[in-house]
Structure 1
Amino acid sequence: MTIFISLIISIAILLGLVSLAKIKSFVKKANREYMDPLPILLKLIWPVVTFLSHYFGDLLSVEYIEKSKISLRRSGLAYLVTAQQFFALRLISAVIFCGVSWGCFLMLDKGAGMIPLLFAIFGYFFPILNMSDRKKKIEKEIIRMLPVYLDFVTMAVEAGMNLNSALMQAVDKGPAGPLNIELQKVLRDIKAGSGKIEALKNMSDRLEIKEIRSLVTALSHAEKSGSSIGETLRIQSEQRRTERFQRAEKLAMQAPVKLVGPLVMFIFPTTFIILFFPIVTQMFALFQ
């Protein structure tokens, strides 16, 4: 009987492996020729990502896919994963969080209850939180570097270059970062046949940053009215630099307020303990 049961289990495992191999054979290999290279951790789970995106991607609604594409584009991940692959990552994240939490309770020899389910829900939304943080960092970096690039473009335009050549000079000479990548996309759109204002408007629609939208609106108005592009760029550069200085002043004024909490919670109690401990010990010694 033991041999018979072992044989059945072996056959079942073999059939399961054959079935998985057959199912995996239907999954098309993703073409990543024009995509960004995968990080090391993502490479480890990439076969599972492609498997889930292939079989669950068709179940996603068109609205969800479009919203995911917009979010991925704004967070700089559009050339790393697709909307279907991002959904697969959310499923994998939910399983990992659930498995890790259940394993921790198992090692502690305690009942987990509904806690692994809560961790699974958190894991399902964790990639979205990570993407939102990444988007905020990119927007902050773009706003910080915008005056620098405006200075490059302004100097090039005032030296006699047109706007296209000035953008190329800014991309070549400017510091690396998200704004450099976005300007490269603008130049690529211009080379593909789009007008320079249209390409800049596309960048504004991708980023949805107030400062970029103001810049594009000013350049579009100057283009239509025949005003000086150099003068418009210089005004925009000075305005962006003033706004950056005002943000720095605001953060500096907020620093003392933010320090109150750590001072009250950590530094003041420690200081009182150090100061009053000798006094308290001497008082105890006197009353004994």
Structure 2
Amino acid sequence: MDLILFGIMVAGLFFFLIAYLIQKTTPSQGRRLFSSNSAAIEVNKRRHNIISEQFSKRLNSIMGFAKDPVKAKELKKKLMLAGCYGSRAFSRFLFFKLTSPLAAIIIGIPLSLNLNVGLIMKPVFLYLLLAFGFYLPNLVLNHKISARQKKISEGLPDALDLLVVCVEAGLGLNAAMKRVADDLKMNNPVLSLEFNMLNLEILAGLDREQALRNLAERTGVEELSTLCAILIQADRFGTSIAQALRVQSDTMRTNRRQRLEELAARTPVKLVFPLILFIFPALVVVILGPAVIQVAESMAKK
């Protein structure tokens, strides 16, 4: 037990040291440069950005992404789908991926020493922990992507109904999306954030068509991509946006109902294995148990 606590303490100190080194933006001379005036703050930010870029380049070279830009682009797209839009999200994920196996080994060594198994199984246990630590960042990232896309899919029908009401009330599409984003801030903050980013891109001067394409690319949700395509077509050909939104709302509501009916139809099939494995053996024991006991007692008397 002492070795386990020691391993956890060492892992915690390791992460604390690495985090401190990352947050340490400038040396002592640079820290003296920091003051309350805006010029010093700007210089400090530039130094921080330079050090962050150098740290990101070193991580890219260590993890092999510098030689494989296609793989780096795929990872950045996954981070975008997970909602990690910051400029440092890529380097932070690489840092997590680099330190996770090390932390698993640091914690696993004292654990393996306390295991009452053979000498062959202890290295196997360490290898399993190393593999778990290596794949843990990818598992966390994929889980975050799935949870985020599920949250967007669940809130999209209600958001589309609100959008139809706002457009039919006379609001423009941009103003309607801003209103829907404000209304969804409490119930669905993920979808609200995406609509707000869409409005910010349009306010920054980006074309609405490109902003809608960026929205579809950021989320990766099929229903939202279809909605963006419909809005692009309606905007391009000058058709009624309210009518297009109403048709898409009815279609999405029908698809959701069919999806729920499909899940309900799968329920009896999914219940077969729990019934066979857990309920039927208990019923057999309850029904045949007394008879087996009586037969055993009668055989013992003979």
Q: Which amino acid aligns with 1:152?
A: L
Q: Determine the structure 2 residue equivalent to 1:72.
A: 79
Residue aligning to 1:168: 178
Offset, 1:197: 2.6
TM-score w.r.t. length of structure 1 = 0.78
Residue by residue over 1:200-247, the C-alpha shift from the partner in whole angstroms, topping out at 9 and shown as x without a partner, is 111011122221221111111111211100000001111111111111
Match of 1:136 among 139, 146, 150: 146
Given that residues 145 and 179 in structure 1 are in contact (C-alpha distance below 8 angstroms), is that contact kept between their aligned partners in structure 2?
yes
* Distance (whole Å) between structure 1 residues aligned to residue 157 and residue 281 of structure 2: 45
Alpha-carbon spacing, 1:50–1:126, altered in 2? closer, same or farther (3 Å): farther
Structure 1 residue aligned with 2:106: 99
Matched, 1:152 2:152: no
Checking the alignment, whether the CA contact within 8 Å between 2:231 and 2:244 is kept in structure 1 is yes
Question: Gaps spanning 5+ residues in structure 1: where?
Answer: 1-19, 30-48
The 2-side partners of 1:217 and 1:121 are apart by 42
- In the TM superposition, what are the counterparts of 1:244-259 in structure 2 within 5 Å? 244-259=256-271
Tell me, what secondary structure is at the counterpart of 2:123? Answer: coil
Give distance in 2, aligned partners of 1:182 and 1:145. Answer: 12
Which position in structure 2 is the counterpart of 1:4? none
Q: Is the CA contact 1:164–1:196 (under 8 Å) kept in the aligned structure 2?
A: no
Could you tell me which residue of structure 1 aligns to residue 245 of structure 2? 233
Query: What is the TM-score when the length of structure 2 is the normalising length?
Result: 0.75
Equivalent residue, structure 2, for 1:87: 94
Report if the CA contact (8 A) 1:153-1:170 is conserved.
Answer: yes
- Taking structure 1 as reference, are residues 94 and 233 closer, same or farther at Cα in structure 2, changes over 3 Å only? same
Structure 2 alignment gaps of length 5 or more? 1-16, 27-51
Tell me how far apart the structure 1 counterparts of residues 141 and 294 of structure 2 sit (CA, whole Å).
Answer: 58
Q: Secondary structure at the match of 1:161?
A: coil
Q: Report the residue type matching 1:201 in the other structure.
A: R
Q: Distance in 2 between matches of 1:139 and 1:267?
A: 36
Using CA pairs under 8 Å that are at least 6 residues apart, name the structure with larger relative contact order, 1 or 2.
2
Instruction: Sort the Cα spacing of 1:76 and 1:273 in 2 relative to 1 into closer, same or farther, 3 A.
Output: same
Amino acid at match of 1:28: T
Contact 1:144 1:244 in 2 (8 A): no
TM-superposition CA deviations, 1:79-103 (whole Å, max 9, x none): 4952122111112211222333333
Runs of at least 4 residues off by over 6 Å: 49-52
In structure 1, C-alpha distance between the alignment counterparts of 2:53 and 2:110, rounded to whole Å: 26
Aligned partner of 1:108 in structure 2 is 115
Tell me the SS of whatever aligns to 1:227: coil
Q: Percent identity, please.
A: 29
Distance in 1 between the 2:167 and 2:192 partners?
18
Give the alignment of 1:21-36 within 5 angstroms. 24=21, 28=25
